Structures are given as structure tokens and as C-alpha cells.
Chain A
Amino acid sequence: MTSATHRSAQEIGRTSSGPRPLPELGDQRAATELSHVDTTLSNGLRVLAVRKASVPLVEVRLWIPFAGEDALHSATAEVLAETLITGTAKRDRVEIDAELALIGGDLGAGVDPERLYLNGSALSDGLPTLLDVLGDVLTGATYGEPEVTRERERLIERIAVSRTQPRTIAREALQKQRYGDHPVTREVPQAEDVAVVTPEQVRALHAASVLPRGSVLVIVGDIDPDTVPAELERALGGWASDRSALVLPPLPELTGGNVLLVPRAGAVQSQIRLSAQTVARTHPSYPALQLANLAFGGYFSSRLVENIREDKGYTYGAHSGFEFTGENAVVNVDADTANEVTAAALLETRYELARLGLVPPTAEEVESVRQYAIGSLLTSTSSQSGLAGQLMALATTGLGAEWLQEHPARLAAVTGEQVAEAALEYFAPKRFTGVVVGDAELLAPKLTALGDVTVGSETAD
């Protein structure tokens, strides 16, 4: 199929006129100001409404702090999220779906140890219907016996599937390694706990915890933000309580420690997951830290990716990035690698962590990550869903649209010295803890020889 007479690879890579210079960048236009409203409804719900009329759609995100100490909390919360939108006093499951479908809409719920979230979208002229359905499920979800029974079964089956995913296994191991028994570790409930959740327990959890005060709702799209608060008062006014939504207790501060090798017999690939304490977005060092992280492993042109993927071919993807939980922030480093190169990949990762502080990013590296941070913020907020996601992440720590619009200037002001200081302080290898999940028989000899690695026991649970 390919041509029999073709040039050689060498001939293809050359032209008679030779290499050409990279064009300079042109003038950059700034993003237009966002027309927005940031207010609190009478029921205590914070609302952030932003006009972005690029397409005739509207995106709605609701975040309800949803912590719980009870041993069955995570299982009950999962069943609640799965059955929240399966019926109210006014509409059954099929009617909810039909009303949403006719406005090109969707509404979904999910839960994690920190929050219950509802994400919705619709054609923008369907916003009143979307909000009406939202208000209806928040105040009138019925959690019928057949729905709860059926979703419980499906959930148990899904948990079985989820626990065979290497990334879920690695995530559970990392959570346990760094946070012990803190409720934040209960991301995927135990199947036997889900099996005993009753509709009454779900209803009781809804009454106790699905609360507007302390929650945040973000609306982005082809809307008039000034009219949104009144529309929400109408649609969600009946959702009220004097109590506030339940916030997760603070996470313990991470200190460095050994990496735990978690055995997974027969795995053909290992998951490397490292983590260290950093600081929140509101901290003065955050912009410098953000740039240091990008230079380390936060984008493709980073030291870690260039080393263990592009130079050595140890991995398809290596990443580092922040994880924010309440006011807490950590940086996570992850890579999946073949068994033969796992120890070498961990060695190179630790080497790059140390090098970031000792041989800090050059002026050229800093300029590159600065442009990337500013440009990718422009790109990610240029769509309605991207902007809604960004605003929600900010809103949960009390920040808003202003922070987003001011952030490019903060990034522009960071100096090379500040990046170097952040690198040395926050990326030192001794600050990290973590796990490697993989075939211990194959991995243990080399990993233990590397040092600061403990071999865990065979049973993960």
C-alpha cells in the first residue's frame, strides 16, 4: 500500500533551503471581562452567576459539603447520590428524564468524602425547567424502595469493577498511606456496607445533610446574571434549613516517609504515587509554587516527562499536580510503568524532585511555564463548562471570578527566585510519602535496594 519508491528518512528530514527560524509571538488580546453576580440567597446558598453566551446553553454546578463520621456514611452517601434523581413527590424517574431531555438537558449527582455535587446543563431557554427539577429533587426526593434496592445492587457491581482498576487500587492505597483512617480515605465504600443501606437511612441522611447554607451554586452560560438570584429564590426557596452543610474535618499535615510497596500479584504495570504537603491558592507562595510544579511534572515539557518518557521511555504519562481539599493542598506525582523499569522510574523521579530545588528552573524554563499557566487558563475558561468548573473550584475556598481575572497578573509577577524558593521548600524528596502498587515479587528486590521503601502485606483490605 505504501509507495515503493520513496525517499530515505534522512532525505525526508532535509530541504535545500535548510532550517527556518521560529516566528515571534504576535500581540495578545486580553480576555473580555466577565459579567457576573456573586451573592447569597435567603436560604444561605452562595450563588455565582456568570454570562458567557458563546453557545445557547447553560451549565449549572452545585457543591454541598457532605462530610460524615458514621461508619456507614460513605455507603449511605453513595446510595443517596445514585437515587437522588430517581423520583420526587411530583415526578417519577422517567418523567424527570423526559422533562430534562426535552430541554436538551442532563442532571447528574455524585459524591466523595468532601461533598455531594450535582451537575446540570440544558439549552439556555430550558433554564427554568432545569432549576425547577433541581429544586424538586433537593426538597422532594423520595428514595423509593425499588429505586434504592436496584441502585444498591448496581452500585455493588460497579464497586467490584472499580476495585479492579489499577488507578482505584493505587488511589485507595495512597489515601490509606497518607491519611490513615481519616474519613477522606473513604472514597469507594465497601460492598458489604452498601448492601445494608436502607431507604430510611438515605432519607435521614438527606434531611440531615443536603443543606443550602455553606453550599455553592455556579451558573455559567447564555444567561442574564442579574435575573438569576430571583429565579433561584423562586426555584430553590423551599430548600431551607438553619443548619449549615457539614464540612470535612481538617486533614492531617503530610510529613515525608517511606514509600509503601503494595503487592498486586501478576500486574504487568506498576503505579507510582507520591504526595507532599503544599499551600492553598490564597497563600502568597501559591503562584510561584504553581510554576515550580509545572516545571517539575505539571506539563508535557516538564523535567519529569522529558526524563522518564521522552528520554527513557519508562512510561506513557507522568504527571504532577495539586489536589485541594478544603483549605488543604498537596502536590501529587504519578506515573505508571512496566515492571522492569519501575525502580529506575522511582529513582529518576526522586532525582528530579531533588534537582528541582538544587538546580532550580532556568529563566527560560520559568518563562515557558509562566506562558503555559496564563495561556492554559485562557483556553480552559474559554468554554462554558471549563469556566463553570474553574469557578466552582475557586468558590469552594471562598474565591470568585475576580480571583480568576487577576490570576494572570499574579503569574506575570512571579520572579525566578520565588520559583527557586518554592521548589526547594516544597519539592524536596524527603517531604514526600507514597505508594508503589505492583507485582511485589518482581519489584521488591530493586525497590528495597533503592532505599526508603517498605514492602506491604499481600492483602490490601
Chain B
Amino acid sequence: MADPELVRFTIDNGLRVVLAPDPTAPVVGVSVHYDVGFRSEPEGLTGFAHLFEHLMFQGSESLEKLAHFRHVQSSGGTFNGSTHPDYTDYYEVLPSAALERALFLEADRMRAPKLTAENLANQIEVVKEEIRLNVRNRPYGGFPWILLPPVLYSTFANAHDGYGAFEDLEGATLDDCAAFFDTYYSPANAVLTVAGDFEVVNAKTLIQKHFGDVPHRPAPVRPSFAEPLPTTELHGEHEDAHAPLPAIAVGYRMPDPINDLDGYLAYLVLAGVLTDGDGSRLQQRLVHREPLVVDIGAGAGLFGPFEARDPDTFTITAIHPPDVERERVLAALDEVLEELATTPPDEQELKKVTARWAASLHSEHDRLVSRTLALGAFELLYGDASLVHRLADRMSAVTGEAVSAAAKALRPDARAVLVVKPANSEGMDEQ
């Protein structure tokens, strides 16, 4: 398939722009990715990057509190934002008539967001409710994305909880917000993406009109988050008051996603070989043949692949019955990896994984919101949005030997094992 047209340029204040026209439906997606995620938040302020994401919706110089939501939705659009380890994104998807409005809204909050003590206090409460909903009041809440990093990593940046501790959230001040904005939310630290139904010339004019006078500030020097590989098996334990069954998460380090993309892709193919579909190796062995686990999954990244720089995490997670010892699960896992390490998967097995990947990439990019966000994230992290369109071919080129080498690198003495224990399971008691 021919690559769709992509136009990429940088305006004077340093804002990088990606344009991806596509007239098949009369809708348009607009996103801004800022190069700051929860790995960059200051010590003592866990959860701050995400809290700040909430504040960016609370008004700006031209827009009262709530106006952002109303203007997007009353134009027929939807919106959201999300915080990742290495970036924070904001987006709207709207009927194409609302393109200029969306650009105006993003430019206005990039230029002059209204940060107030009242909104900060309100959003601290909203974020605490979000954490109660997604973590504290739910079985396996935060499993494994909050629980595994502190076992596998040792630095604050890599190990801490991106949702944050309540006391840190409560301690956030307006001055912290101002410092964070001035440091990280400069146009030179951001990528603007427009995808969907628009004319390139018109979009360029509108982008200059609305973003052109956002003053330049230098992008911060990005620190390395590198830390040494584990030299032993690391262990962690977590008691879950709501979980009815024990669970296990195994975390491994993987190749640098940016500077060794093909190495990284081999791990994604490995993940497919291990757990994608009934015929995959771990499903076959641990779910159907033995059977030791209720469910098992493998994958790259805390929220999925291609959303973090080095170091990134390869995870295998399983939920298992209480009468199955976790050592048996781990032993079976190591045996399956050992088989792959000695005998590479054949062409047919690779083709199964890569054909499914090709289809899922098509499907993801068929949704305008996902396509817009993928283009922006690849421009930000990889410096090249067009990689999005070449991923399926790069995946298909991964060899059996490369998958075998990846399996060999997942060693028991260089990994983290997190155990989730049901604590006094209320769910079982009620039956």
C-alpha cells in the first residue's frame, strides 16, 4: 500500500507540525503532544504530570473554565488528553468545519492557560476519585503498570507511581504548576498533528495564524532515564484487598525502542508468538494443555508499545488459581522461552503474528483519533511520523532468529517478579 501523504514542518517558535490529509470522511483530528510524561515529574510530586493534564482543560486567557469542553462539543466534537511515561497528549476529533476552532483552542492553552488555586483544588479531588475508581476500589487496580516498575527499576523516574500518592497530589501548589508549564509546555517541546478532511494550504495558514505568535521558549534538556540492567531476579509482593485470585507479573528490560527499533519489534513479535491466540505458545501450554493459569498475556510497554523511550518494559502477566504454585507458572514460562531460544519459530508461526499485527495496525489507524495520536507520538519520540505507515512492513521483516534471540534475553536472573496476593478476599467471602 502506498504511504498516505504526510506534510511535516517546524514553525518559527519551534512547534513541529504533522499534516495528514485524508478526505474519506468529513471529520478532522487535532492533537498536541508535549514532551513530558510522568517520568519527568519532580521528586515529591508524584502524579503531577497527570494532574497538570487535568488543569490544561480548566480555562485559558480567552476561555472561561468549562468553555473548552463546551466549544469542542458544541462544534460536534469529542476530546480528551492522556499522560504517558514520556509524553502528554491532548486531542479533539470534530466535523471538519470546526478545524480552525480546534486549532484556536489548542493554541490558546499553549499560549496562556489560566492556572488558578480553585481549579487546582477541584482537580486534585477529581484525580483522587479517578485513582479510587481505577486503582483502590478495584481488583488488580494498577496491575501491573503501577506495581511492577518499583520492582524492576531503582530510580525515582522509572520506579514511581505515575498516578501519584494522595499526599503528593494534595501538596501540589500553584507555583509548581507555573514552573512545570514554563519548563515543559513550550511550543519547542511540542508536536501539533492535524489528520483527516482538510486542505493542506488552508491548514498551514490557520496554524500560522493561531500558533505563530505563541512565544518561543527553549525546550528543556531531556535527561536520560537509563539505569543498569538487573543482575539478579528481583521480587516484589502486593496485597490486593479486592482480588479473588493470585496474579503474577514478570517484567524484563528490552531493547531501546528508539535507537534499536528492529530489536524492539522482535520483542513485539515474540509477545505475539507467546500469547496471541489459542495457538500461541503460552496459551497452548499454560491455559489449555497443563492448565496452570486462567489468563496470560505478554506485551511491550506499560500501556502498550511505542509510547516510551528507553528504558521500556516487556511484561508477562497471569492470573492463576490459588492451588497452583507460582513457581510452576514461572518454570513453565522459562521452558517455553528456552524452547524458542534454541529453536526459532518457523515462517508460518511468524506470519500468523505479523498478519494479525498488520490487520490491527490498519484497524487502529482507521479510527481517526488513534491515527492522529500515533502520528504525533511517532513524530515526538522518533522524529518521524511516517514510521507509522512502515511499521507493518518492519514487523514482517523480523526473522525467526531475531525472535529466538529476544526469547534468550528474557533470563530469570535479569527480571522482576511481582506477586499479587488476595488479602482476605471479600468477593469469595460473600459467595
Interface mask (A3-30 → B, CB under 8 Å = 1, otherwise 0): 1101111011111011111111111111
Q: Which of B9-17, B145-153, B237-245 contacts A (4 or more CB under 8 A)?
A: B237-245
Whether the pair A29, B362 counts as a contact (CB closer than 8 A) is no
The chain B residue sitting closest to A17, CB to CB, is B213
Q: How far is the CA of A32 from the CA of B108 in the complex (A)?
A: 33
Given the interface pairs A22-B101, A164-B427, A376-B78, the reply to whether A368 lies near B70 with Cβ below 8 Å is yes
Q: How far is the CA of A317 from the CA of B245 in the complex (A)?
A: 28
Whether the pair B244, A161 counts as a contact (CB closer than 8 A) is yes
Given the interface pairs A12-B182, A55-B363, A123-B358, the reply to whether A160 lies near B94 with Cβ below 8 Å is no
Q: Which of A278-310 contact B (CB under 8 A)?
A: 299-301, 306, 309-310
Tell me whether A454 is interfacial, beta carbon within 8 Å.
no
Tell me whether B95 is interfacial, beta carbon within 8 Å.
yes
Q: Which of B251-259, B364-372, B398-406, B410-418 contacts A (4 or more CB under 8 A)?
A: B364-372
Whether the pair B40, A1 counts as a contact (CB closer than 8 A) is yes
Chain B residues contacting A7 (CB-CB under 8 Å) are 178, 182
Q: How far is the CA of A367 from the CA of B132 in the complex (A)?
A: 35
Q: Inter-chain contact count A-B, CB under 8 Å?
A: 300
Q: Which of A71-79, A91-99, A248-256, A324-332 contacts B (4 or more CB under 8 A)?
A: A91-99
Q: How far is the CA of A336 from the CA of B133 in the complex (A)?
A: 7
Q: Which of B277-295 contact A (CB under 8 A)?
A: 277-280, 284, 287-288, 291, 294-295
Whether the pair B278, A86 counts as a contact (CB closer than 8 A) is yes
Q: Which of B26, B69, B177, B352 is close to A102, meaning CB atoms less than 8 Å apart?
A: B352
Q: How far is the CA of A314 from the CA of B126 in the complex (A)?
A: 7
Q: How far is the CA of A170 from the CA of B223 in the complex (A)?
A: 46
Whether the pair A55, B183 counts as a contact (CB closer than 8 A) is no
Min distance, Cβ A124 to any Cβ of chain B, angstroms: 10
Tell me whether B426 is interfacial, beta carbon within 8 Å.
yes
Whether the pair B358, A313 counts as a contact (CB closer than 8 A) is no
Tell me whether A158 is interfacial, beta carbon within 8 Å.
yes
Min distance, Cβ A204 to any Cβ of chain B, angstroms: 25
Chain A residues contacting B178 (CB-CB under 8 Å) are 6-9, 11-12
Tell me whether B180 is interfacial, beta carbon within 8 Å.
yes
Chain A residues contacting B328 (CB-CB under 8 Å) are none
Q: How far is the CA of A17 from the CA of B76 in the complex (A)?
A: 29
Min distance, Cβ A60 to any Cβ of chain B, angstroms: 13
Whether the pair B74, A56 counts as a contact (CB closer than 8 A) is no
Which of under 10, 10 to 19, 20 to 34, or 35 or more describes the interface residues of A?
35 or more
Whether the pair B367, A269 counts as a contact (CB closer than 8 A) is no
Min distance, Cβ A388 to any Cβ of chain B, angstroms: 11
Q: Which of B1-47 contact A (CB under 8 A)?
A: 1, 24-27, 40, 42
Chain B residues contacting A425 (CB-CB under 8 Å) are none
Q: Which of B28-84 contact A (CB under 8 A)?
A: 40, 42, 60-63, 65-66, 69-71, 73-79
Chain A residues contacting B243 (CB-CB under 8 Å) are 161, 164
Given the interface pairs A15-B61, A300-B69, A309-B126, the reply to whether A1 lies near B42 with Cβ below 8 Å is yes
What are 25 A-B interface contacts by the 8 Å CB criterion?
A1-B40, A2-B176, A3-B220, A8-B178, A19-B62, A26-B98, A28-B96, A54-B366, A55-B363, A102-B352, A123-B358, A123-B359, A150-B288, A154-B295, A160-B427, A160-B431, A269-B129, A269-B137, A314-B129, A371-B76, A379-B27, A379-B76, A379-B95, A385-B366, A460-B430
